A and B are shown apart, each in its own frame.
Chain A
C-alpha cells in the first residue's frame, strides 16, 4: 500500500468518503495490534487497553463526539465507514460504554461542570464506564427498577442491585438508572446517576456466560453515597434520557456488520468443509447473502435519515430484529455444515476464523439484549402498526 498521509484528527471529517476510507485503512495498518485481530471473545480492559490508549493518544477515540469536546465530529456516513473498516480489519470492541453511551448523554443533557469533568477523562482512558440499568426483576420491564437513591444532605444514598452489567469488573465508573420517587408512575420516578465504583458499598460479582466467559456481572449497592451533583439532567427525568440513548443503541445493534462478519466466516468454513460448491449450499448461502444485502439497503435508508438530521422513529426496531436473527441464521448454518466440529470448545484447527461454536453462542444473546426481539416486535405491532392492545 502506498503510504497515505494520516491527517490531523480535526481534518478527518472534511475528507471525501473514499479518501477517508483509505485513511482509516492506513491508520489501522499502522496502529492496530496484530494479535488483537478478530479475538474469539470480547476482550477485557487489560487486553484491549493498549489499543484504547493508542486511540486516545491519536485523538481517534470518540468518532461521533463533536470536535469541541475532543471528538472527531464525524458525520453519520463517515462513522459508518469507520465501523465498516474496523470490522473488516477485525478490530476488537473496546470498553466503549463511555464513548458511545455516557459521553453523548453528558454532551446532550449534562451541566457545564459535568462536561468539563467527565468528558476529558473518557478521552484519556482514565474513566472506563459500564451500564447499570437491568435488575433481576427489571429486564424487559426496565421501568420496574427498584434500586433507589435517597437524598441525604449533599448525597444520594443508593441501595439495590443491578445485573447483566457488561464488563463491570473492568469499569471504574457506572451510569445508573435509579428510583428517586416511589410514589410517581413508574417511568416518572427514575433518575440518571453517575457513580464512582470505588465508593464504599459497591460489590461486583462476575457471572460466567454461556461462552464460559466472565463478561457480565452482578453489581450490588449497599448505602453507597453519591454526590448530588452526579445526577444528570432533571430529577425524575432519567427514563426519557435513557430512552433517547436506547434509540441510538437500536440502530447500532441493527448494523449489518455482525452478519457480514459471520457470512464471511460461513464461506470460509464451507470451503474448508468442502461444501462451498454444492448447489444446495449455494442456494442456502445465497438466501443468507441476499438477506444481508437487503438489510444493508434498509440500514442505508436509516443512515440517510440520520444524515438529513431526522430523528428515528420506533420503526428502527426492524433493523435490530432482522440483523440479530440473520446473524443467528448464519451461525446456525455454520453449525449444520461443520459436522462433529460443531461441538468443539475451541476454534477448529486452532484457526480463529473457524470459531464455529463460539460464534454460534455469541449470536444467542443478540436477540435478548438491547430490548429483546419480542419487545421489538411489540413495539412494531403497537407503535408502528398501531394495532390495538
Chain B
C-alpha cells in the first residue's frame, strides 16, 4: 500500500463503502439474507461472483497478481458494510485464501477465485479457539465457514519443520457440515492429500499474517452489525410507547443506550487504528498487538451490544421475524472466529511488553 495523501485515502474508503451497496442494501433490507438461511450452501454463488467482479476478493493483493492493491482501511470499511447487511457470502475466508495463493506465487485456483468463480477455503484449524496452525498430517481440519459451498480447499501441512500448502478439490474431499445460528454452516474436512496439488513449501509466515487480517476484518464485520442493530434499537426507543410515553424517555433506558454507544465508539477506534497501523507498515509483535486489541474489543462488544439490543426491544426482540435477533445470532457465530476475546487478550499480553514505547 503506497502512502496516499489523506484526502485520497478518505475518498478511496468512501468509494468502497458506496460500492458495498451492490450487495448489502443500505436500507437494511434482509430478505435475501433470510432466504438463504438454513439452506445449502447458505450463500449465493452468484453474489460471490459479483464480489469477485467488483475486485473485493483480491482487494488486498498487488495489482500485478490481479488484485486491487488496497489497504486494510478499505478492507475493514468494506467488511463493516457487509456486516451491517449480514452478507453471508464467505468473503473474509476467501480473501484469506487469496492471500495464501498469492504468497504461493499466484498458483492454483487464484485467477478463478479472484473472479469469484470458485470458493476457496483454507483448512488450517485443528482445534477450537486458536490461531496456531500445526499442519498435522491427516488431522481433521475444523470450523470451515460455509464449507457446504466450497469448490477448493487449501491445506497447510507440516513438512520438514515448515508448512507446505496443498490445494484440494472439494468434490474429492470428505466434508461434514454442521449448521450455525446465523443460518450458515461450519465444515470439517478430513484431507486426503493424495488427491491434492502442492503449491508451496513454506506458507507459514504468510498464513500467520493472513489469519491476522481475517481476525481484524471479522472485527470490522462485527462492528458493522453492532452499528446497524443499535440504529434499529434507537429507532425503536424513539417510537415504542408504554405507560403513555415513548420508552426512550425513560432514563434507565437512555443510560443503557449511552453505554452501548460507548462500546461501539471504542470498537470503531480500535478497529480503525489497528487498520491504520497495519497500513502504515506495523509488523511482528506490533502488528499482532494491534489486531488482538481490536478483535478482543469487537468480540466482547458485539455480544454485549446485540444482547442489549434484544433486551431494549422486549418481547419482539425475541422473535425470529424481527431483524435485531439476526445480529445476535451472527455475533454468536463470529465472536470466537479467528480467536475469541480471551485468546486475543492473552496474545496481546504476550506481545505487548515488546511493543510498549
Contacts and interface: CB of A to CB of B under 8 A. Distances in A.
Interface in B225-272: 241-244, 250, 252-253
A343 B338 CA distance: 13
Contacts of B181: 343-345, 357, 361
Interface string B323-336: 00100110011111
B100 interface: no
A336 B341 contact: yes
Nearest to B345: A280
A383 interface: no
A361 B243 CA distance: 28
Given A338-B128, A343-B181, A377-B252, A210 B303 contact: no
Interface in A136-157: 137, 139-141, 144
Given A134-B315, A364-B307, A369-B315, A212 B320 contact: yes
A367 B311 contact: yes
A337 B128 CA distance: 10
Interface string A219-247: 00000000000000000000000000000
A368 B314 contact: yes
A208 interface: yes
Contact of A339 (B129, B244, B311): B129
B35 to A, nearest CB: 15
Contact of B315 (A212, A346, A365): A365
Q: Choose among B178, B315, B320, B333 the residue with the greatest number of A CB atoms under 10 Å from its CB.
A: B315
A341 interface: yes
Contacts of A52: none
Contact of B310 (A340, A357, A364, A369): A364
B129 A343 contact: no
Interface string A4-45: 000000000000000000000000000000000000000000
Contacts of B198: none
A332 B318 contact: no
A208 B37 CA distance: 15
Given A209-B320, A210-B328, A357-B332, A336 B179 contact: no
B242 A144 contact: yes
A335 interface: yes
Contacts of A364: 307, 310-311, 317-318, 328
Contacts of B332: 335, 342-343, 357, 360
Nearest to A340: B143
B58 to A, nearest CB: 26
B340 to A, nearest CB: 6
B283 interface: no
A124 interface: no
B344 to A, nearest CB: 12
Interface residues of B, number: 43
Nearest to A350: B178
Contacts of A336: 335-336, 340-342
The prevalent SS among residues of B at the interface is mixed
A210 B320 contact: yes
Nearest to B333: A343
B178 to A, nearest CB: 6
B173 interface: no
Interface in A246-268: none
A241 to B, nearest CB: 22
A373 B256 CA distance: 13
Interface string A198-215: 000000000111101000
Interface in A362-376: 364-365, 367-369, 372-374
Interface in A347-389: 357, 360-361, 364-365, 367-369, 372-374, 377-378
Contacts, number: 120
A315 to B, nearest CB: 19
A135 B252 CA distance: 23
B310 A346 contact: no
A207 B322 CA distance: 11
Contact of A340 (B186, B242, B244, B314): B186
Contacts of A335: 303, 332, 335-336
A209 B321 CA distance: 8
B287 interface: no
A321 to B, nearest CB: 12
B39 interface: no
Nearest to B37: A212
Contacts of B329: 210
Nearest to B252: A374
A273 interface: yes
A378 B242 CA distance: 14
A163 interface: yes
Contact of B314 (A144, A208, A342, A372): A372
Contact of B180 (A141, A344, A374): A344
B182 interface: yes
A327 interface: no
A129 interface: no
Contacts of A173: none
9 contacts: A164-B315, A208-B321, A273-B128, A332-B303, A335-B332, A340-B186, A345-B180, A372-B314, A374-B250
Given A144-B244, A338-B336, A345-B181, 7 more contacts: A335-B332, A336-B335, A336-B342, A342-B333, A345-B180, A368-B318, A373-B311
Interface of A: 134, 137, 139-141, 144, 163-164, 207-210, 212, 273, 328, 332, 335-346, 357, 360-361, 364-365, 367-369, 372-374, 377-378
A-B interface, 4 closest residue pairs, ranked by CB to CB distance from nearest: A339-B128, A339-B129, A343-B333, A340-B143
